[in-house]
Amino acid sequence: VTDRSEVCVIGAGASGALSAKVLTEAGVRVTMLEKGPWLKPSDFGSDEVANTRRHYLGPDPELSPRTIRRSETEVAHPSAFCMTPQLVGGGTVHWGGWTMRMTESDFRQHSLHGSVEGADLADWPVTYSELEPFYCKAEWALGVSGQGGANLHESFRSREYPCPPVPATRYGWRFRTACRQLGYNAFPTPMAVLTRAHGTGRPTVQNAFVELHGDPTGTRSSALTRFIPDAHATGKLDLRPLSFVQNLEVNSEGRVTRAVFIDERGRRRAIDADLFLLAAGAIESARLLLLSQSGRFPEGIGNDDGLVGRYLTLHEFASAVGVFDDGDPIFGWAGGGVAASSTYQFYESDYSRGFVGGAHLMGMGVGTHLPVNFSLPEQPRWGKTAKDNDRRYFNRSMAVAFVLSDLPQWSNRVDLDPTVVDAWGVPVPRITVHAHPNDLAQAAWMSTKAAEILTAAGASRVWKPTTEDLTGSALHQHGSLRMGAQAVSSVLDRWGRVHSTPNLYVVDSSSFPTPSGTNPTLTIMANAWRVAEHLLNRRGSSIN
């Protein structure tokens, strides 16, 4: 069975749902296909076991495995690698909601640093200035809470945050106080959390079950709770959950004509459209292009030069952990451990540190700071000592964490596993990644800095993380379908359009030439908004 639509969006997460909102609000008919279910806020809850141990928000790695290897010469083994949720709302359903902006330098990494051996830095074909208005739009659409100007290292902003910052937690307070003592600028971490009425949203409560959990109350904004209802209200959106796209068909001119998918009852169906927007995330979007092989594109769409899947960057989430024997308790679980404070003091490159790039540091709870998952590094995991540590430190510990800005490398990539298939019989994404020496140098330096802040905050004992490789621990993914000014070294043009395929646009973070040192989702939304407005501006003649 084949249906028709003006635009077909594949993936209903941060970028797909945002695109659907912007396009449908301008009157465009959109069909959006999402592999996962369409859950409602009432389907979410405070269940640490279901959410952190049993893949409640999916995907279950037994159904949708990935494989991982460190180099081209190894056989990849199945792994639950970087399993960002697959459902309507995507990663924004389980996110902590941190919504920092990138800075001007993030868009000019090659101009600033030139060549780094073993890596391929590139400038974005977009500048911060071009994106800035869309950052504002995304912040206002979500209802981000924050304090404009508090981050002295932020690039310019033309509009204040729509909501004031989340009240300070004790771990946020300790972090800010320690930073002040050390002479570092700290600021309340901007969050997609309503602190006052905004649009149709109302603030509710700060509970303890935040990261990795959906929010049943609506205080935390997501693509599911903000963008999907807007798009739905236009009457122009046809959202199809449990619809797993397996192939894009092309005609002799290289245009995509059809998305072929399996519906929830296992039936093969298709959508024909004038224009296709790919928004499945950097791993799944690359996988779909590689799966879409044809006489015209024997190696997959956009892959004539073998670039599809390459330059995958993942961040690495690492944290120093401190315990506090003296002073007031910290309650690292209040606000879910993510009502944090941040610093961009070490965000910009400083060659005297011995590496390029930098990271956003934040004071937060220890991991997912909840009882089942609580643990301290290098400590016994069972027996009397473990129980004593739980009792002494569950309320008296915090972390200073960072996301590593890993360098894009040719060999870090997504391709199709030659033997492993998923529960639908489709070859799974095979991930080949290893850390660059610059990544490890950066991690070591940031670890020392994170530990220094914890010590200044009064920690009686501090553990520094050791980062040995990229593990996908941030659940961030970027870069597998780079955009660039030159077709020879990129898959997408500056609007996210596949060079070889004029009616196919990629709107997710696959397009990011470099990953930045901060959480990507606000930038994903801003960039998708920029592309969607471009498509609408071109609509005079026809949408494509």
Q: Which residues bind to another protein, rule: CB under 8 A?
A: 42-50, 53-54, 56, 60, 62-63, 150, 152, 167-170, 172-173, 176-177, 180, 185-187, 204-209, 216-217, 329, 331, 333-335, 339, 370-372, 374, 381-384, 386-387, 390-391, 394-395, 423
Question: For another protein, which is the closer residue by CB, 149 or 418?
Answer: 149
DSSP letter for each residue of 26-48 = TT--EEEE-SS----GGG----H
Judge whether 259 and 270 are in contact, CB under 8 Å: yes
Q: Is residue 455 within a helix (H) or strand (E), and if so which, with residue range?
A: helix 437-456
CB of 240 to another protein, least distance (A): 17
**Torsion angle (degrees, nearest 10) of CA 332, 335, 337, 343:** -110
Question: For another protein, which is the closer residue by CB, 182 or 444?
Answer: 182
CB of 265 to another protein, least distance (A): 9
Judge whether 144 and 192 are in contact, CB under 8 Å: yes
Question: For another protein, which is the closer residue by CB, 302 or 363?
Answer: 363
CB of 468 to another protein, least distance (A): 20
> What's CA 467's distance to the chain center, in Å?
20
Question: For another protein, which is the closer residue by CB, 2 or 373?
Answer: 373
205 CB-contact burial (10 Å; exposed 0-12 / middle 13-18 / buried 19+): exposed
Judge whether 219 and 335 are in contact, CB under 8 Å: no
Question: For another protein, which is the closer residue by CB, 130 or 390?
Answer: 390
What is the rounded distance in angstroms from the CA atom of residue 242 to the CA atom of residue 405?
A: 33
Pairing of strands 361-364, 341-343: antiparallel
Question: For another protein, which is the closer residue by CB, 129 or 147?
Answer: 147
Question: For another protein, which is the closer residue by CB, 44 or 311?
Answer: 44
CB of 164 to another protein, least distance (A): 13
| Sequence-ordered list of residues with C-beta below 8 angstroms from that of 280, at least 6 positions apart, any chain | 10, 11, 13, 16, 35, 245, 287, 288, 508
CB of 132 to another protein, least distance (A): 23
CB of 518 to another protein, least distance (A): 19
Question: For another protein, which is the closer residue by CB, 307 or 321?
Answer: 321
Judge whether 98 and 190 are in contact, CB under 8 Å: yes
The three-state DSSP-derived secondary structure of 89-105 is CHHHHCCCCECCCCCHH
Question: For another protein, which is the closer residue by CB, 209 or 402?
Answer: 209
CB of 202 to another protein, least distance (A): 10
Whole-Å CA distances, 20 to 172, 234, 511? 36, 10, 18
CB of 268 to another protein, least distance (A): 17
Specify which residues 362 forms β-bridges with.
342, 401
CB of 334 to another protein, least distance (A): 4
CB of 171 to another protein, least distance (A): 9
What is the rounded distance in angstroms from the CA atom of residue 475 to the CA atom of residue 316?
A: 8
CB of 325 to another protein, least distance (A): 15
Cβ count within 10 A of residue 423: 12
Question: For another protein, which is the closer residue by CB, 9 or 398?
Answer: 398
Judge whether 349 and 153 are in contact, CB under 8 Å: no
Judge whether 542 and 35 are in contact, CB under 8 Å: no
Question: For another protein, which is the closer residue by CB, 4 or 54?
Answer: 54
